[in-house]
Amino acid sequence: MAGLAVIIICLTLALIWMWKRMEKMKQEIYTFTDRLEECLDAMASGEEIKNPENCEDSLWDKVYERLRRIENIWSRREEESVAEKKQIKELISDISHQTKTPIANIKIYLELLDNEEENTEKQREYLGKIEGQTEKLDFLLKSMVKMSRLETGIIEIHKKPCSIYETLGRAVAAIVPKAEKKKIGIYVECPENLMLCHDSKWTEEAIFNILDNAVKYTKEDCPPKSRNIQIGVAVQEFFTKISFKDSGKGIAMDRQAEIFRRFYREPEIHDQEGIGVGLYLARKIITMQDGYIDVQSEPGKGSCFRIFLPNNSKESYE
């Protein structure tokens, strides 16, 4: 009888323990689901989720950490979406602003042509002006396409070891006709056998844009001996430096960061041709190759633009 009583007592205690354990588990499940519901509601309303208890290694703590990760991912994507919308809005605004002037000029010259009677010389003048404005629009739209394709990743940069001397040579050859018109000499110091991992096509574009900028803003009234562009290439420990020293008007210190912005043009050069995208594109192209561009300049003393491309990098990336 004593043994039976012991067994009954043990079974009773076991049932009581199991009942209490089940009650505790039920309470933990209620608490867990309440917290999960609160977090999901907070995430749905865009509020920051909070952890009422910091219980390490508990089921709730593990779930909470994963919810935090999801929240961070959503937050980053939302920020990227807002940034992309802002970028698109700015681009549309820039396109609208940049195309207004040439379109308005074309309309004016067409009206003048309509009103002109049998004056062949005037007609030729107006047609020439219309052609110039049309070329400006064509250049603008092509630049816009390049910018949008680079920014959205449609155009990919593919780097491989190739001759930087040849890349420089093609860019220089393309700018020589403009330079000769202003009697500007271009001098290059670069080892012919220097190999550098870079995208030759797009690096050529970046170099041409820097050279075009240098030729454009070199004054024709400066002494012929100082009217030149000097290009130098130097291999450093981590980067290969390509420098472009011109004898142009120079850039004030407070504007040197601005010149790489899209469509930026300095106030005193608005009578010059151009739309202010060359340096922006150059920086974008070099940055996409893990390099960077800087400028050293003083007003009236010319400028030195410097491209830095990494010496060691993967052959290509997307």
CATH 3.30.565.10 fits 160-310, yes or no: yes
State the pLDDT at residue 121. Answer: 75
Kindly list the domain boundaries of the chain, sorted by start residue: 1-42, 77-151, 160-310
Per-residue burial over 149-165, b if 16 or more Cβ lie within 10 Å, else e, is ebbeeebebebeeebbb
The mean pLDDT value of the chain amounts to 76
pLDDT tens-digit readout, 214-225: 888 887 766 666
Structure tokens at 131: 């052609």
Are 77-151 and 160-310 the same fold in CATH? no
Check residue 280 and give its pLDDT: 87
Range with the poorest average pLDDT among 49-58, 96-105, 146-155, 199-208: 49-58
| Cβ neighbour number for residue 217 with a 10 Å cutoff | 19
| Structure tokens, 97 | 């602003």
Secondary structure of the chain in the HEC alphabet? CHHHHHHHHHHHHHHHHHHHHHHHHHHHHHHHHHHHHHHHHHHHCCCCCCCCCCCCCCHHHHHHHHHHHHHHHHHHHHHHHHHHHHHHHHHHHHHHHHHHHHHHHHHHHHHHHHHCCCCHHHHHHHHHHHHHHHHHHHHHHHHHHHHHHHHCCCCCCCCEEEEHHHHHHHHHHHHHHHHHHCCCEEEEECCCCCEEEECHHHHHHHHHHHHHHHHHCCCCCCCHHHCEEEEEEEECCCEEEEEEECCCCCCCHHHCCHHHCCCCCCHHHCCCCCCCCHHHHHHHHHHCCCCEEEEEECCCCCEEEEEEEECCCCCCCC
Q: Which residues pair with 188 in a beta bridge?
A: 231
d(C-alpha 304, C-alpha 294), whole Å: 8
Fold of 77-151: Helix Hairpins (1.10.287)
Largest CA distance in the chain: 134
For residues 200-212, give the mean pLDDT.
92
Is pTM beyond 0.85? Reply is no
